[in-house]
Amino acid sequence: MSENVKSSGGWRTNKWVRAAIPALLLHCSIGTVYCWSIFSQEIADYIGFSKGATEWAFSFAIFFLGMSAAFLGNVVEKDIHKSSLIAAICFASGMAGTGFFIYYGGAHKGSLLALIGIYICYGFIMGIGLGTGYLSPVKTLMLWFEDRKGLATGLAVAGFGAAKAIASPIMQGMLNSLGDGGIYKMFLILAAVYFVMMFVGHLLLKKPEGWHEPQKKEKGQGILAVIKSKPISNYIGIWLMFYINITCGLALISQEKMIVKCIGLASVVGIISTISAIFNAGGRLGFSAWADTMKDRNTIYKLIFILSIVFTGAVLLTNGIKNGEGNIALVVLVLGLIFIVNAGYGGGFSNVPTLLSDHYGMGNISAIHGLTLSAWAFAGLTGNQMATWIVNTFGEPVEIQHTLADGTVEALTVNPTGYQYVLYATIVLYILALIICLLMVKPTDKALAAKKAKEQAKAASAE
């Protein structure tokens, strides 16, 4: 990239206007998919189905996010304007369609057409918008912020994580103020708002001038040829550790509210949820910015897995979830686990594109990143379900008493033993991920060169 392009202050060549701001507009819009838990029960009640039946809409959304990223990565690679417009249209129309079928389901209680319509709109159509919208700004950011690629991608992906913390109180306020049918009205209003945000992001998003010229030769290679330029086990290792990190994160996050209630913090569960969302977003930005200072970005994943193993092991050894109520030390330990896993979950996302670019170059990064996001698709179908199956299979539900703010006592049904068994599953998976990280993902050429230079310097000083 020419020096005058990098240093120019005009808005047409400003990296914040052409990359960072549009990335945040796109990611802060599509990241609201994680607000599902805010309104899932309301949707179920309004259309006359069980919460379990409607939950599949969210699972489908995450699945099609990953699969659309995998199959449309080449579209993003060739034309970010086309892909960002596809993202805006699909996400907004999917949200509007969801609102329509909620309205239809309210008028026709128990209608299978309404449920299938929600699956298609929220799961499939919005899922395509999610996948293309997630990918579109990432490579552009890495090109504009060549020296701080991790910080740049972390900033955008942090927007995806922070979207829940920002949008949740807004959505809750809309549900409370829109009256009868507020659930479908909310979807229709937000569809228009997010379309405007994403369309503005689409108009602003632009790769730096002149970048494509030096990259023609590299872009000529197919994605499989690029992956095979390293031992295939290297890419498989990256895919697997990414998949395991998401699976473990979703397993714990899906049980987070009930775990918080188990340790006696039912009255502040909403506050804890917001703090954990902040840690999720902070991990996306912090871990990726930290990785910029390291010779090998894979070190970040080693740290994420080690921290997760240590905190999970500590909660298991102390039986923290079961014995936490009334014990400040154990409460802090369990909250520490929740926050660390959220931060590591987010950090795993933000470091994937930069780790891939370090290994395979920038030429096909959107396509390779998209293919790797297929791990997210499968983890979206396995993480929550694994945790739910464990909680339903192991342990016994117990009733605990909880005092509300107005002094009334509420009975809650929880399964502390079941939540502990979820941790047994995640610690095994985290250990497996660490082994993969150490043995299958090889150091980058940059890291090997730095190591060789260090050894040569040490030998020279010894002489």
CATH number of the structural domain spanning residue 94: 1.20.1250.20
Domain's final residue, options 177, 211, 245:
211
Answer yes or no: do 186 and 48 share one domain.
yes
Residues 6+ apart with CB under 8 A from 461: none
Say how many domains are in the chain: 2
144: its two tokens: 């504009």
The pLDDT assigned to 5 comes to 41
9 lies in a domain?
no
Answer yes or no: do 242 and 324 share one domain.
yes
Answer yes or no: do 104 and 163 share one domain.
yes
Answer yes or no: do 292 and 382 share one domain.
yes
Answer yes or no: do 228 and 131 share one domain.
no
Cα separation, 286 vs 151, in Å, equals: 8
Answer yes or no: do 199 and 230 share one domain.
no
**DSSP state letter for 148:** T
The pLDDT assigned to 207 comes to 86
Q: Do 418 and 392 form a contact (C-beta atoms < 8 A)?
A: yes
68 lies in a domain?
yes
The pLDDT assigned to 2 comes to 41
Digit-by-digit pLDDT tens for the chain (463 residues) are 444 344 445 656 788 899 999 999 999 999 999 888 789 889 999 999 998 899 899 989 999 999 999 888 888 888 888 999 999 999 999 999 999 999 999 999 999 999 999 999 999 999 999 999 999 998 888 889 888 888 888 887 888 888 888 898 899 899 989 989 999 999 999 999 999 999 999 999 998 876 654 444 444 467 888 888 889 999 999 999 999 999 999 999 889 988 998 998 888 887 888 899 889 989 999 999 999 999 899 999 999 999 999 999 999 999 999 998 889 999 999 999 999 999 999 999 999 999 999 999 888 888 899 999 999 999 988 988 899 899 989 988 888 776 655 666 777 788 999 999 999 999 999 999 999 999 999 888 777 776 776 677 676 776 6
Domain's final residue, options 181, 211, 241:
211
Answer yes or no: do 36 and 69 share one domain.
yes
Query: What pTM value is reported for the model?
Result: 0.84
Answer yes or no: do 234 and 205 share one domain.
no
Answer yes or no: do 244 and 202 share one domain.
no
Cα separation, 353 vs 99, in Å, equals: 34
Domain's final residue, options 157, 183, 211:
211
455 lies in a domain?
no
Which candidate, 64, 176, 219, 53, places its Cα nearest to that of 129? 64
Answer yes or no: do 415 and 296 share one domain.
yes
275 lies in a domain?
yes
Residue range(s) defining the domain that contains residue 32: 15-211
The DSSP-derived string for 59-116 is HHHHHHHHHHHHHHHHHHHH-HHHHHHHHHHHHHHHHHHHHHHHHHHHHSTT-HHHHH
Cα separation, 143 vs 140, in Å, equals: 5
Answer yes or no: do 231 and 194 share one domain.
no
Tell me how crowded residue 4 is: count the other CB atoms within 10 A of its CB.
10
Answer yes or no: do 106 and 248 share one domain.
no
Q: CA quadruple 337, 342, 348, 350: dihedral positive or negative? A: negative
The pLDDT assigned to 8 comes to 44
379 lies in a domain?
yes
Alpha carbon separation from 105 to 76, 183, 267, 307, 394 (Å, rounded): 36, 11, 33, 45, 36
